[in-house]
Chains A and B, each alone.
Chain A
Amino acid sequence: MINIKNISFSYPADNHIKEKQALTDINFSIKEGEFVSILGRSGCGKTTLANILAGYLAAQTGKVLINNVEVKKPGKNRIVVNQENDLFAWMTAWENMKLANKDEKKINKCLKLVGLDEIKQYFPNKLSVGMKKRLSLARALVVNPSFLILDEPFASLDYRIREELHIGLDKIFSFTKKTTLLVTHDIDEAVFLSDRIIILGDKPTSIVNELNIDFPHPRELRIKNTKKFTEIKNRIKNSYI
């Protein structure tokens, strides 16, 4: 169980930039095995929230509890998959995995899970963008974290690759039931993948709505053409206004 309690954060003033309030009194919780998305416009503070959950940033007020233990610094029990390429360019896929966990059986299992067991000796620059994302995900899973944070991991990808990865991620989630938080501004992505969506409004950033999505996992692309999917999307769009 992950509890986010009264989180507020502001970036301090720097030279000509005034102090900026990024998050105001954020409260929510994520159940074991739940896939939750944080949805909000670009610049609304989603990544700041992900960084606080990961332990990269310390909130000015409030706290994050994972299984009742307070997050004070980064650690293996919650791993972030980033929008940027975070693979080490000088390490092969295998070495990137081995940096996270030395257990070769687990590495093989996770590479197989993301469909990359044939490219162990490849350097990241030999992989496609989609493969790089899958390798990042495999590296995150190999340490068996209690909590996975996906910070807009598919934002820079084209539509076709993104859909491919959505299907792959949903299959992995259905198989592992890993507690996951996805940070995104893409409504389609959030509805397709999540069990629950938390919508952040901006100025000041706070939770404006929460929706449960009850499509069963694993999901298929055709659910995007259903009336229910469109209705959920419209409800989300209305929350923004």
Chain B
Amino acid sequence: MKKVFLIILLIVIYQLVNALFPNNYFPSIFQIFEALLKNLSSREIYLHIATSLLRIIVGFLIASIIGIFLGLILAYDQRLKDLKLYIELLRPIPPIAWIPIAIIIFGLGNPSAYFIVFLGAFFPIFTNTYFGAISIPPIYKNVVSSFEVSKVRYFTKILLFFTLPYISTGLKIGIGMAWMSVIAAELIGSQSGLGYFIQLNRLLLQTDNIIIGMIFIGIIGNLLQKIIEFAESKIIVWN
């Protein structure tokens, strides 16, 4: 109820500002609503959404698998800690800065977008997994060594499960970063997707469509976050 009220309030404020300071660039709320209906009845917007979703799913899945595995293995075996230094060196470079390199290597299209999404999601997932796994209390290690639990069981039944809440936090941050990265990649170097839809409409001066694109980005980003939260509530049942 509170959320609905806030959305209505935002719409009213937008319309008031628009009525008080009329200009040619920002459409009224009615024009936006009209553009929304028009887009919903066309096939184009769904194709852009599907393209962006495919990119985020592929990139995010690869980032999750590699990020979780590397985070756990580096925390488990301290002999590999030098590898973490190399990863840390790459972490401060924002995914958007990789776009030119990605285009040179992979060209325009899906592989570049997968790569950018991967970079956006990988670091929060890896970092949360690693720091979660190294924080395992010594008492758990003592119990495991007393019960002579095998290394494989320790890795899969103890370390992985202890780290799951941290992994989940990494995934929640990672999905947000991945979504931002895919839109940024499509704005600059792509011929399809929601980012490209916004970029195309900027060139056509169709501000109402730009706002529609932004609304879809917000809604889908929120939905992706909710999916991860739902999965977390079903998997981490002991919390």
Contact surface of A with B, Cβ cutoff 8 Å: 54-56, 73-76, 78-80, 82, 84, 86, 88-91, 99-100, 123-125, 143
Contact = CB atoms under 8 A, between A and B. Distances in A.
A80 B142 contact: yes
Contact of A90 (B139, B143, B153, B238): B238
A99 B157 contact: yes
A90 B145 contact: no
13 contacts: A55-B145, A76-B146, A76-B147, A80-B142, A82-B139, A86-B143, A88-B162, A89-B238, A89-B239, A99-B153, A100-B147, A123-B238, A124-B238
Residue in A74, A78, A80, A90 whose Cβ sees the most chain B Cβ within 10 Å = A90
Interface in B145-167: 145-149, 153, 157-158, 161-162, 164
Nearest to B143: A86
Contacts of B157: 91, 99
B122 to A, nearest CB: 25
Contacts of B143: 86, 88
B46 interface: no
B140 interface: yes
Interface residues of B, number: 20
Residue in A74, A78, A82 whose Cβ sees the most chain B Cβ within 10 Å = A74
A237 B239 CA distance: 44
B161 to A, nearest CB: 4
Contacts of B140: 86, 88
B129 to A, nearest CB: 16
Contacts of A56: 142, 145
Contacts of B162: 88, 90
Contacts of B238: 89-91, 123-125
Contact of B146 (A80, A89, A124, A125): A80
Contacts of B149: 99
A88 B158 contact: yes
Q: Tell me the dominant secondary structure on chain A's binding face.
A: loop
Interface in B94-145: 137, 139-140, 142-143, 145
A106 to B, nearest CB: 14
A125 B236 CA distance: 13
A55 B146 CA distance: 8
Given A55-B146, A88-B161, A91-B238, 6 more contacts: A54-B146, A56-B145, A78-B146, A80-B142, A88-B143, A125-B239
Contacts of B239: 89, 125
A84 B139 CA distance: 8
A15 to B, nearest CB: 19
B132 to A, nearest CB: 13
Contacts of A124: 238
Contacts of A100: 147
A144 to B, nearest CB: 12
B22 to A, nearest CB: 59
Contacts of A88: 140, 143, 158, 161-162
Contacts of A82: 139, 142
A79 B143 CA distance: 8
Nearest to A83: B139
A76 B137 CA distance: 20
Contact of A79 (B137, B146, B164, B236): B146
